[in-house]
């Protein structure tokens, strides 16, 4: 195990670093900025008071560490804070290139973590170590704040860390405060600027609508700066994903090597700049500085989003298990509660339904064992009915032609049959063809003097405007406050292309990107708190909003509109690096017209659901679905709450395989997905208790296929992990789901 320490080693200045450096800097600036320096000095004293003895005393070592990861900090001459590169030999020389949180404008020439335009127009910032505080939160996580300040300006920056020791997780963010005479402008404000060795491989994920997370790319970070970003505002992702993996030992491996997962808890535009200069690779992560200058008023604090880091010394598998375990506690809602089987009407009916058609779907749903019915898009709008995607968004009143008595009887009919009822909504959006837009054309995000640009025929409401915030909150309450609605899908089907707000003043237009997301989180938080028993799905035209900034208010996410199971195998594999499979909605559909048994088996490996018109499904397919649901109900405790082991990577090969193991290791479930014809090779499960006995049973075997040769036999975990099991699937588009029970 790589057991490093996270230490802050002071230099001689550390007896009273503030004091000495303060005087020194004043002296240096004296000739140039006599007047400014005096003003700054007075202001500094007003915030900091008299410099206090260093909080690092008595031995000056700050030992912050997780179980197997750490980052070393050191204060150098002049009081600057440096960071020793992760996974690199300690360099005794403290160079500007290894500053902990580099500041632009006074000597640092690479990509900065922070850049400020001060009230007097000065574009430089210098940050000097001031103090450190450490305390435990109510969950036993350690909170560490390293305070830095600018000796020439009353600006304070706190580097904040929240450490989940056992899981090797560090969340990192920055808080910026000032007391200058007028607002300062934040041009760069990274959440984290971690420095690593120069030998780092980056794995990132590219995709587009209907191909989210489908293209993993692994490459060495060569000299220069590699930027991954998004500039689309209301959702983090359409192309690049806000999560990545860094490997310190070459191309990352599943069960060996030092890897670090990074994920930004932010649903807006983000930027990851991997700056490889002489001192190492610096990962600058945070809000995208593009067009996002933020005017910070005196006395206010700017808090960046949190950057999540998860370390593993034993490869990607362990990294994911730690991250999933963290997510159950902090990254999603109800992480220890199994999810129910959902039937969605989207593929069955599209926009074409009325009361009777929907109710007609309930009995077949109940018959095959579904537990929850989700009514998708198309239930609202009267003057401009939502009968296609051209009209109605914003008018959240049920369409009385289709649903004469609104939603309550629909929900009641479901509940009467023993099904829960859920509803789709897209509260942030409006169609120009809507009563809302007729009344409030100025509520949308748009650029004056430019023609409105529609995406999917819709516009985004400007959430920085208080009336819009109130409207959206009221709409959400009206929709999910209806009795018997216990599930909602929150969608967001477009992104910002014309970033103009009619609410923000002309000189604060750049705040739109950040204020929108913060207002969105306030809404999501209120929704989660007001409706604690309503399960929420996070959707954004597929997987546009899959990030831990939003997910903490939700139970699950919709990974992609692309539901072809052949694509879902690698896509769900990639999502699983960062997100627990119980949070991934995986629905059986007709996309790709794959065999029903294969489609069901793939969906069973995450949060199982269906998007099928059961009234038209052939009897054989229905029987396969019913068998899959019944098997799923038996294994979901293991697949949803157990630990994931990725066994065979499906990218570019003939099959993929994974298994789950229950926390007490008494049960496991192995999935094998045959994507192409190939040899019928054994699959070796992992994570079993070597000493325990496991009996093999194939769940819901495919009709007409020979049973597994090992069916019903019992082996020790050691034997199974060594010799493997021979799945019944061997041809393209066959799958096996095998239960190992003790």
Residue 87: left if φ>0, alpha if ψ -120 to 50, beta else—which one?
Answer: left
| Closer Cβ to ligand GLA, 288 or 431, answer by number | 431
Query: Taking the complex as a whole, how short is the minimal distance between the CB of residue 366 and ligand GLA, in angstroms?
Result: 22
Query: Taking the complex as a whole, how short is the minimal distance between the CB of residue 233 and ligand GLA, in angstroms?
Result: 18
Please provide the distance, in angstroms rounded to a whole number, between the alpha carbons at the two ends of the chain. Answer: 31
- Cα separation, 377 vs 26, in Å, equals 63
Query: Taking the complex as a whole, how short is the minimal distance between the CB of residue 375 and ligand GLA, in angstroms?
Result: 10
Q: Which residue has the tokens 């999501």?
A: 524
Contacting ligand GLA within 204-263 (CB under 6 A) = none
| Closer Cβ to ligand GLA, 607 or 692, answer by number | 607
Burial class of residue 691 in the structure, from the number of CB atoms within 10 Å of its CB (0-12 exposed, 13-18 middle, 19+ buried) = exposed
Strand order in the sheet with 114-117: 114-117, 184-189, 294-296
Closest-CB residue for ligand GLA? 377
221 in Cβ contact with 283 (< 8 Å): no
Residues in the chain: 742
269 in Cβ contact with 232 (< 8 Å): yes
126 binds ligand GLA (CB under 6 A): no
Query: Taking the complex as a whole, how short is the minimal distance between the CB of residue 639 and ligand GLA, in angstroms?
Result: 22
Beta bridge partners of 644: 660
Query: Taking the complex as a whole, how short is the minimal distance between the CB of residue 490 and ligand GLA, in angstroms?
Result: 10
| Closer Cβ to ligand GLA, 613 or 649, answer by number | 613
Strand order in the sheet with 714-716: 643-648, 655-661, 667-674, 734-741, 693-698, 714-716
Which one of residues 270, 384, 558, 671 is an interface residue with ligand GLA (CB under 6 A)? 558
14 binds ligand GLA (CB under 6 A): no
Query: Taking the complex as a whole, how short is the minimal distance between the CB of residue 538 and ligand GLA, in angstroms?
Result: 11
- Cα separation, 35 vs 38, in Å, equals 5
Q: Which contiguous run of DSSP H or E holds residue 324?
A: helix 315-326
Give which of 538, 542, 448 is closest to 494, Cα–Cα: 542
Contacting ligand GLA within 327-366 (CB under 6 A) = 346
Binding mask 449-488 for ligand GLA (x = CB under 6 A): ----------------------------------------
CB atoms < 10 A from the CB of 382, how many? 15
The vertex-571 CA angle with 566 and 574, nearest 5°, equals 140
| Closer Cβ to ligand GLA, 280 or 559, answer by number | 559
**125 DSSP assignment:** -
Cis bond leading into 58, ω under 30°?
Answer: yes
The residue annotated as part of the active site, out of 120, 249, 334, 561, is 561
All residues at 6 or more sequence positions from 392 whose CB lies less than 8 Å from its CB, including other chains? 380, 381, 384, 385, 386, 399, 431, 433, 434
CB atoms < 10 A from the CB of 19, how many? 15
| Closer Cβ to ligand GLA, 304 or 458, answer by number | 458
Span from 138-146, 316-324, 539-547, 597-605 in contact with ligand GLA (CB under 6 A): 539-547
162 in Cβ contact with 143 (< 8 Å): yes
**Ordered alpha helix ranges (H), 433-465:** 435-439
627 binds ligand GLA (CB under 6 A): no
Query: Taking the complex as a whole, how short is the minimal distance between the CB of residue 495 and ligand GLA, in angstroms?
Result: 13
| Closer Cβ to ligand GLA, 544 or 580, answer by number | 544
The residue annotated as part of the active site, out of 150, 237, 395, 491, is 491
Query: Taking the complex as a whole, how short is the minimal distance between the CB of residue 292 and ligand GLA, in angstroms?
Result: 27
Span from 140-148, 177-185, 534-542, 669-677 in contact with ligand GLA (CB under 6 A): 534-542
| Closer Cβ to ligand GLA, 237 or 318, answer by number | 237
Q: Is 491 a catalytic residue?
A: yes
Q: Kindly write down the DSSP assignment for every residue of 57-92, as one continuous string.
A: TTT-------SS---EEEE-GGG-EEEEPBTS---S
| Closer Cβ to ligand GLA, 102 or 542, answer by number | 542
Which one of residues 541, 549, 570, 627 is an interface residue with ligand GLA (CB under 6 A)? 541
Q: Is 574 a catalytic residue?
A: no
Q: Which residue has the tokens 């192995």?
A: 670
Which one of residues 126, 275, 279, 376 is an interface residue with ligand GLA (CB under 6 A)? 376
Which one of residues 491, 621, 643, 686 is an interface residue with ligand GLA (CB under 6 A)? 491
| Closer Cβ to ligand GLA, 322 or 587, answer by number | 587
In angstroms, how far apart are the furthest CA atoms of the chain? 90
561 binds ligand GLA (CB under 6 A): yes
Span from 171-179, 536-544, 628-636, 655-663 in contact with ligand GLA (CB under 6 A): 536-544
Task: Give the SS3 label for residue 683.
Answer: strand
396 binds ligand GLA (CB under 6 A): no
Contacting ligand GLA within 424-453 (CB under 6 A) = 424
Query: Taking the complex as a whole, how short is the minimal distance between the CB of residue 542 and ligand GLA, in angstroms?
Result: 5
Query: Applying CB under 6 A, which residues contact ligand GLA?
Result: 346, 376-377, 424, 491, 493, 539, 541-542, 558, 561
Residues that are catalytic: 491, 561
């Amino acid at each position: 195990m790589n057991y490093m320490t996270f230490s802050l080693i002071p230099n001689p200045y550390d007896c009273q670093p503030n004091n000495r450096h303060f005087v020194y800097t004043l002296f240096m600036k004296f000739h140039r900025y006599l007047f400014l320096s005096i003003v700054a000095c007075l202001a500094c004293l007003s915030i900091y008071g008299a410099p206090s003895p260093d909080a690092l005393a008595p031995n000056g070592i700050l030992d912050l560490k997780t179980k197997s990861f750490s980052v070393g900090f050191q204060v150098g001459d002049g009081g600057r804070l440096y960071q020793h590169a992760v996974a690199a030999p300690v360099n005794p020389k403290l160079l500007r290139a290894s500053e902990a949180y580099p500041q632009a404008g006074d000597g640092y020439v690479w990509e900065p973590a922070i850049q400020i335009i001060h009230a007097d127009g000065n574009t430089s910032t210098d940050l000097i170590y001031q103090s450190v505080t450490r305390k435990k939160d109510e969950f036993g996580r350690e909170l560490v704040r390293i305070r830095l300040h600018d000796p020439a300006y009353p600006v304070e920056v706190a580097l904040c860390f929240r450490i989940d020791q056992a899981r090797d997780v560090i969340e990192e963010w920055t808080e910026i405060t000032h007391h200058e005479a007028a607002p300062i402008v934040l041009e760069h404000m990274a959440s984290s600027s971690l420095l690593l060795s120069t030998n780092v491989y980056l794995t990132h994920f590219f995709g587009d609508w209907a191909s989210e997370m489908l293209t993993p790319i692994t490459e060495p970070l060569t000299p220069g700066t590699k930027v991954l970003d998004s500039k689309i505002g209301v959702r983090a992702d359409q192309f690049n994903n806000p999560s990545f993996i860094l490997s310190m030992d070459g191309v990352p491996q599943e069960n060996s090597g030092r890897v670090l997962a990074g994920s930004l808890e932010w649903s807006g535009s983000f930027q990851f700049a991997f700056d490889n200069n002489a001192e190492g690779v610096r990962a600058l992560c945070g809000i995208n500085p593009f067009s996002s200058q933020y005017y910070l008023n005196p006395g206010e604090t700017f808090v960046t989003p949190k950057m999540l880091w998860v370390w593993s010394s034993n490869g990607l598998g362990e990294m994911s298990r730690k991250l999933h375990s963290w997510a159950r506690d902090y990254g999603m809602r109800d992480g220890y509660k199994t999810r129910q089987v959902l039937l969605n009407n989207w593929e069955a009916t599209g926009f074409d339904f009325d009361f009777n058609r929907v109710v007609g779907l309930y009995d077949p749903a109940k018959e095959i064992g579904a537990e929850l019915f989700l009514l998708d898009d198309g239930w609202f709008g009267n003057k401009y009915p939502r009968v296609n995607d051209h009209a109605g968004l914003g008018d959240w009143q049920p369409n009385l032609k289709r649903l004469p008595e609104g939603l309550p009887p629909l929900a009641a009919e479901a509940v009467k049959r023993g099904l829960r009822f859920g509803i789709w909504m897209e509260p942030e959006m409006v169609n120009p063809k809507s009563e809302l837009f007729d009344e409030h054309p100025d509520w949308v995000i748009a650029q004056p003097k430019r023609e409105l640009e529609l995406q999917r025929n819709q516009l985004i409401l400007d959430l920085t405007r208080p009336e819009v915030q109130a409207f959206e909150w009221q709409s959400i309450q009206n929709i999910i406050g209806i009795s018997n609605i216990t599930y909602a899908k929150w969608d967001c089907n477009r992104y910002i292309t014309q970033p103009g707000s009619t609410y923000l003043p002309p000189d604060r237009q750049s705040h739109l990107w950040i204020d929108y997301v913060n207002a969105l989180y306030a809404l999501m938080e209120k929704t989660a708190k007001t409706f604690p028993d309503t399960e929420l799905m996070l959707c954004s035209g597929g997987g546009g909003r899959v990030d831990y900034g939003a997910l903490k208010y939700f139970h699950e996410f919709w990974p992609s509109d692309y539901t072809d199971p052949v694509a879902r195998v690698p896509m769900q594999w990639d999502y699983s690096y960062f997100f627990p499979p119980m949070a991934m909605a995986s629905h059986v559909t007709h996309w790709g017209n794959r065999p029903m048994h294969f489609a069901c088996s793939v969906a069973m490996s995450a949060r199982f659901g269906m998007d099928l018109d059961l009234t038209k499904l052939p009897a054989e397919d229905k029987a396969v679905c019913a068998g899959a649901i019944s098997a799923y109900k038996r294994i979901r405790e293991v697949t949803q709450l157990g630990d994931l082991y990725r066994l065979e990577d499906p990218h570019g090969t003939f099959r993929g395989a994974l298994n789950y193991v229950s926390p007490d290791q008494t049960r496991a479930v192995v999935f094998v997905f045959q994507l192409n014809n190939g040899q019928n090779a054994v699959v070796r499960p992992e994570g079993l208790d070597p000493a325990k006995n496991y009996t093999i049973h194939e769940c819901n075997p495919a009709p007409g296929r020979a049973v597994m040769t090992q069916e019903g036999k019992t082996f020790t975990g050691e034997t199974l992990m060594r010799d493997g099991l021979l799945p019944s699937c061997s041809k393209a588009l066959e799958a096996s789901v095998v239960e190992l029970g003790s």
